[in-house]
């Protein structure tokens, strides 16, 4: 599971609170120059896992290492290399943006002479110029999120942990934040959780899917699509007898399974769902098989997306089996 370039390493990590286990035997790595997306429903264990990597809580069993440091015994040394943006960033409402970032820079051990340049760098990267003198309690949620990202970037950490970094941002701000993460991930290790699946396909090299504290899959977005070929589907609306329509479609090479249901609001019209192989031109063969004998009212091809791949994993593996 480990590699020479691994900056974040989890080895059989579990976390228990009393009798309740919230993370089960989790193992994965994040390499230098890699962005890994962390996907899962609310309560899946994403935030707990990030808190263990950041050193805010200790694993019950297993080992967490960051840049070679064991987070159980060397978390102070590792903390200097970590930039962490929790889902609710730790902001001090009575300070203005500049004073807050100056305070965080000093707390992170940034040399006093280097603080002005560091503030200028993260303020520009997170587009905070317009609010640099504004008190934090006056900031919108979007600006608060961007300020949380800016404090995580201070000191040019080797590892960046981002928990829902684009929550509350408008589409333009989301795009800007993606660019910041993409640029940072070229030379650092980035792990970020998000419910916006488009972000994963746009900037991540790998995706880790977690549910009920168990890792269901970790791979590239394209590989996860290939692994879930059953999400390739063709849906139709056909006028014809259900048994004969099913048999005709199953005779088409590349059609794996066929579900046929009568449409309740239109007697005589069938709703047909075909699970198919991921091959080109298959919908044309399906259309020919139907129109040769019956009327075809609608045909639609559904390619696998990361969203339905994710839902498929969660649906078929609720206990991580």
Which residue, among 4, 53, 6, has the nearest Cα to 32 in the 3D structure?
6
Residues 205 and 194 in one domain: yes
Range of the domain at 107: 91-149
Distance CA 65, CA 31 (A): 12
Q: Is residue 289 part of a domain?
A: yes
Say how many domains are in the chain.
Answer: 3
Residues 190 and 319 in one domain: yes
Mean of all residue pLDDT scores within the chain: 89
Which residue, among 230, 177, 215, has the nearest Cα to 199 in the 3D structure?
177
Q: Is residue 10 part of a domain?
A: yes
Q: What share of the chain in percent tops pLDDT 90? A: 61
For 1-47, how does the pLDDT look when each residue is reduced to its tens digit (9 = 90+)? 455 679 999 999 999 999 999 999 999 999 999 999 998 888 889 99
Residues 115 and 144 in one domain: yes
Q: Report whether pLDDT(320) > 60.
A: no
CATH code of residue 290? 3.30.70.260
Tokens coding 64: 């967490």
pTM of the model: 0.77
Cβ-contact 241, 268 below 8 angstroms: no
Distance CA 184, CA 229 (A): 33
Residues 4 and 72 in one domain: yes
Residues 316 and 296 in one domain: no
For 57-109, how does the pLDDT look when each residue is reduced to its tens digit (9 = 90+)? 999 999 999 999 999 999 999 988 999 999 888 899 999 999 999 999 999 99
Q: Is residue 172 part of a domain?
A: yes
Which residue, among 52, 59, 55, 20, has the nearest Cα to 38 in the 3D structure?
52
Q: What is the DSSP string of 24-89?
A: EEEEEEEETTEEEEEE--TTSSHHHHHHHHHTSS--SEEEEEETTEETTT-HHHHHTTEEEE-SS-
Tell me the torsion sign for CA atoms 233, 239, 243, 244: negative
Distance CA 107, CA 303 (A): 49
Residues 60 and 172 in one domain: yes
Residues 130 and 185 in one domain: no
Residues 110 and 128 in one domain: yes
Q: Is residue 86 part of a domain?
A: no
Residues 271 and 124 in one domain: no
For 196-219, how does the pLDDT look when each residue is reduced to its tens digit (9 = 90+)? 777 788 889 999 999 889 998 898
Cβ-contact 77, 65 below 8 angstroms: no
Q: Is residue 19 part of a domain?
A: yes
Cβ-contact 160, 138 below 8 angstroms: no
Cβ-contact 213, 41 below 8 angstroms: no
Residues 35 and 136 in one domain: no
Residues 241 and 295 in one domain: yes
Tokens coding 90: 């730790």
């Amino acid at each position: 599971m480990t590699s020479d370039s691994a900056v974040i390493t989890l080895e059989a990590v579990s976390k228990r609170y009393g009798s309740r286990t919230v993370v089960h035997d989790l193992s994965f790595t994040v390499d230098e120059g890699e962005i890994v997306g962390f996907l899962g429903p609310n309560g899946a264990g994403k935030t707990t896992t990030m808190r263990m990597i950041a050193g805010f809580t200790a694993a019950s069993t297993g080992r967490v290492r960051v840049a070679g440091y064991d987070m159980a015994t060397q978390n102070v040394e590792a903390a200097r290399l970590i930039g962490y943006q929790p889902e609710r960033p730790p902001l001090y409402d009575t300070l203005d943006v500049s004073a807050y970032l100056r305070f965080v820079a000093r707390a992170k051990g940034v040399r006093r002479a280097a603080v002005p340049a560091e503030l200028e760098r993260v303020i520009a990267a997170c587009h905070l110029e317009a609010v640099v003198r504004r008190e934090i309690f006056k900031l919108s949620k979007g600006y608060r999120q961007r300020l949380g990202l800016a404090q995580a970037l201070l000191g040019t950490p080797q590892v960046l942990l981002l928990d829902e970094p684009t929550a509350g941002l408008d589409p333009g701000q989301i795009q800007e934040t993606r660019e910041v993460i993409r640029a940072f991930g070229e030379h650092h290790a980035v792990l970020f959780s998000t419910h916006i699946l488009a972000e994963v396909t746009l900037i991540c090299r790998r995706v880790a899917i977690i549910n009920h504290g168990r890792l269901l899959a970790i791979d590239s977005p394209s590989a996860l699509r290939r692994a879930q070929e059953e999400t390739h589907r063709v849906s139709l609306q056909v006028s014809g007898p259900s048994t004969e329509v099913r048999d005709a479609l199953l005779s088409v090479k590349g059609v794996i399974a066929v579900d046929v249901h009568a449409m309740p609001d239109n007697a005589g019209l069938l709703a047909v769902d075909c699970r198919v192989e991921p091959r080109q031109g298959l919908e044309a063969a399906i259309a020919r098989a139907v129109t040769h004998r019956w009327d075809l009212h609608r045909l639609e091809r559904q390619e696998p997306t990361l969203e339905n791949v994710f839902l498929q994993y969660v649906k078929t593996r609720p206990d991580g089996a």
